[in-house]
Amino acid sequence: MADHTSLKGKVFKAKTLSPAKVKGLAAFGFSFYAYSNLAAITLLVGPTLPLFAIALGSIYGMKNFNDREVVSSIESIENGQLRIKIMKSPFVSYTITTHTKNVRSVCSLGDDDLGADDVEGNIITLSSYTDSAGEHHADGVFRLPADAFRDK
């Protein structure tokens, strides 16, 4: 039983600002700083290299903020049901409910050879689940991020 203060009654909760998102923010910051000083940098190294670096920094930042079909929280409710919050994008999420017998871990992502924490993400599949509108779905595949608070 770990991370109870961060979980607030949940079984699983993804961190708001993971290390990947911090790197994405740093890349956006670099791109903004370089763009704001583009005239001076262009005089030093020419026009091609700074624009290329700004474009790559922006793309890297966007890539690190791309969270699709990622589980952000899992909450246990009555009768063996789970309420799972799935992120569609960094700003939009939706909630589904399923029974614990419908959840399977497909594979573990990471290298947990020495027992390190926050390196073992998982791909899970749900054989049947219900969305917040009450519609039933089958065969959902989602990713559990490695850097999250878990009830161990």
> 57: burial class by Cβ within 10 Å (0-12, 13-18, 19+)?
buried
Give the pTM: 0.72
Q: Can you tell me the mean pLDDT for 3-12?
A: 66
Distance CA 127, CA 144 (A): 16
Residue 86 phi, psi dihedral angles, 5° rounding: -110, 135
Report pLDDT for 1.
Answer: 43
Which residues have CB under 8 Å from 94's CB, separation 6+?
85, 86, 88, 131, 132
Report pLDDT for 12.
Answer: 79
Residue 71 phi, psi dihedral angles, 5° rounding: -75, 125
Looking at 4-18, 22-36, 46-60, which range is the least confident one?
A: 4-18
Q: Can you tell me the mean pLDDT for 121-142?
A: 89
